[in-house]
């Protein structure tokens, strides 16, 4: 609620195997998608939170700076495609509102 999101970190299989999907996601969301290098991101995240809980780092941001994984790829939105997706989304919202009125 009220938290601004500027980018998305992608993990796992499809993020590493399907550049087209990642580029499309960047275009649809109109924000960068960064593919994390680590193959064990869930375990790494758990270790970061454990380090914070143990007092090694003061907060998760500090733990991430020290323990975080590198980014192996980044997909930036294409402005033209992002605009098309934004227009399509607005049309979808209009149609969804109309569909709610149909009994």
pLDDT in tens, 1-35: 788 999 999 998 999 999 999 999 999 999 999 99
* SS3 label, residue 26: helix
Rounded to two decimals, what is the model's pTM?
Answer: 0.78
With beta carbons less than 8 A apart as the criterion, state whether 59 and 52 touch: yes
With beta carbons less than 8 A apart as the criterion, state whether 34 and 73 touch: yes
Catalogue all structural domains in the chain, each as residue range(s) with its CATH number.
8-101 (3.30.420.40)
Among candidate residues 69, 77, 67, the one with its CA nearest the CA of residue 36: 69
pLDDT in tens, 39-65: 899 999 999 999 999 999 999 999 999
């Amino acid at each position: 609620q009220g938290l601004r999101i500027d980018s998305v970190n992608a993990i796992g299989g499809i993020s590493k195997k399907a550049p087209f999907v990642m580029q499309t996601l960047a275009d649809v969301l109109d924000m960068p998608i960064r593919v994390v290098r680590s193959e064990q991101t869930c375990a790494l995240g758990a270790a970061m939170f454990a380090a914070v809980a143990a007092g090694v780092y003061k907060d998760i941001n500090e733990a991430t700076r020290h323990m975080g994984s590198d980014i192996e790829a980044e997909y930036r939105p294409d402005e033209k495609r992002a605009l098309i997706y934004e227009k399509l989304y607005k049309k979808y919202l209009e149609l969804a509102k109309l569909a709610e009125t149909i009994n």
